[in-house]
Amino acid sequence: MRALQAAVIVMGVLILAGTVALAVAIANRLGGRPSPPAIVTLAEPEGSRIVGIAGAGDRLAVHVAGGGRPDRILLVDPATHRVVGRLMPGEP
């Protein structure tokens, strides 16, 4: 009889501990830690400024002005955080 009582108590404690551990694991995955912000270097001359940003398919189109150069569009791949293309006005 005592062995049965001890077994029931031990199993109850194990079930309770497992439930708490599962709840903590789920809370950690749902809340999670915020990922660090992505840093993208555009390598534009000093004095350049971002005029606007728009989605372009799976890329970001960044409109840049100033810096002693004509307005230009930089295409940034958000997955790799790299500039993958530049659109600049040509001569007529």
- In this structure, is residue 43 part of a structural domain? no
At 52 the pLDDT is 95
Q: How much is the pLDDT for 92?
A: 54
Q: Give the per-residue pLDDT at 29.
A: 83
pLDDT for 16 equals 95
58 falls within a domain: yes
- Per-10-residue mean pLDDT for the chain, 92 residues long? 93 95 88 75 91 93 92 92 88 54
**Cα–Cα distance, 79 to 64 (Å, whole number):** 21
Q: In what order do the strands lie in the sheet with 69-77?
A: 48-56, 59-66, 69-77, 82-87
At residue 88, the pLDDT reads 87
What is the reported pLDDT for 54? 95
Q: How high is the pLDDT of residue 27? A: 85
Asked whether residue 39 is domain-assigned, the answer is: no
Structural domains counted in the chain: 2
Question: What span, in angstroms and rounded, lies between the C-alpha atoms of 66 and 63?
Answer: 10
Residue 17 lies in a domain: yes
> What is this structure's pTM?
0.58
* 30 and 59 inside one domain: no
Please indicate, yes or no, if residue 3 is contained in any of the structural domains: yes
List the domain range (segments joined by +) for residue 9.
1-34
Give me the phi and psi of 80, to 5 degrees please.
-105, -10
